[in-house]
Structure 1
């Protein structure tokens, strides 16, 4: 059972430099402490395959990246007629090689669930990508039995998000071989840090989760809380494993 803890991005504030000693880039130093990172910049702009290759070469063999699917696919085209866009994206991220842990599909809050559209999209994606996939829907219609069955049948995990747009979104769903938790900061998304009590609960949830692979990504980066929060959870998991 694999457990990965990390943040969205890998920037290291000067106040945290002592926690990430040694030579090298921010990514190289980050990867000596944490086990994964979520690449969010791919949502906004494409990266060359060579860029992904450079990132992969900067991290240890056991380190893994998740990569966020471009917004042109999920937000502009809304999962319709995206075959060429998906092909370009998969070609780019192939540069990560075996450091590629998964693809993250984040959907806009306005995108309603359509079994026809979602089924066609994930079927096409699965034909060309056999790795891990996690999806973060944000419209309430996705939290239904039909959507859960669609995800499970295609081995797509539904993200457990905090704050959750509705109660069901707080718990992992879809295919349960994988858990992917995205912690955006609560009560204020991207800004708030998590209390010691909440971080202890997060660590306990990760430790007790029956999924064969568990990810925990802190996305509360706006004021630099993601890294400290991730380190607290990492330490709690380490102590539990002793």
Structure 2
């Protein structure tokens, strides 16, 4: 593996029955998943809050070294569109802090219609950084985000810009913003959420992630979950990376 930690995972820890052999047989879905992959993205936090005790229970059920990335609620990003975030951030962060040392990056996904407005973005990121000093990745999707000023703004607040597939704009397929974290989200292409990446593309993803891990802590999240391809795709990449280090992933 690289010099820095690499986390390969999925958006959610569902394990389709046809891929159950890739994970341990015993335990809850999360317990089984966490012994076969090193990280997961809690995508459900985007749609609804979870009780602090739920996060604490999840943290207690995974091995040391496993990490949860958590998606910031759509109330903040899509409904309020970053305005007046203080109360909602306080509630969300109060919940996710129960993950303790299992907490990885926060993911801030912007709606496709949300253009970059410096004053609004700086105010939001200021509120966020006043409350949270850990890793953060931002996934903008409006074309106005992919130029010099937004990149500099994200860098100033230590926010990595997600490298996404499919690519919503010219440079969005490569990491940007703060260089201290690489965060890739692979939604499936050409058919978003559905396409299985296949052996050739997974080999290329493995090489890319390996190079990422040589320069920064790295996350690669498979979100092609609609037909259940994500766990197998993630497991293939993680197995290749671990095998190259002489450390095959456990079952």
TM-score by length of 2: 0.95
What is the match of residue 89 of structure 1?
92
CA-atom RMSD in angstroms: 0.8
Count of matched residue positions in the alignment of Structure 1 and Structure 2: 242
Residue in structure 1 matching 2:218, options 214, 217, 220: 214
**Pairing 1:110–2:113 present:** yes
Cα distance, 1:78 vs structure 2: 0.3
Structural mapping, 1:17-28, within 5 Å:
17-28=20-31
- Residue in 1 that maps onto 2:60: 57
**Structure 1: unaligned runs, 5 residues or longer:** none
Task: Using the TM superposition, give the Cα deviation of residue 239 of structure 1 relative to its aligned residue in structure 2, in angstroms.
Answer: 2.7
| 1:41 maps to 2:37 | no
Shift of 1:12: 1.0
Among 142, 145, 154, the residue aligned to 1:142: 145
State yes or no: 1:226 paired with 2:234: no
1:134-175: CA deviations, max 9, x gaps?
000000000110100001111100000000111210000000
| Distance (Å, rounded) in 2 between the aligned partners of 1:153 and 1:79 | 18
Bigger relative contact order, structure 1 or 2, given CA contacts below 8 A and separation 6+? 2
Q: Which residue of 1 aligns with 2:249?
A: none
TM superposition shift of 1:240: 2.4
Distance 2:191 2:21 in 1: 28
Moved over 3 A (4+): none
SS in 2 for 1:188: coil
CA distance in 1, matches of 2:243, 2:201: 17
CA–CA distance in 2 between the matches of 1:211 and 1:25? 35
TM-score after normalising by structure 1: 0.98
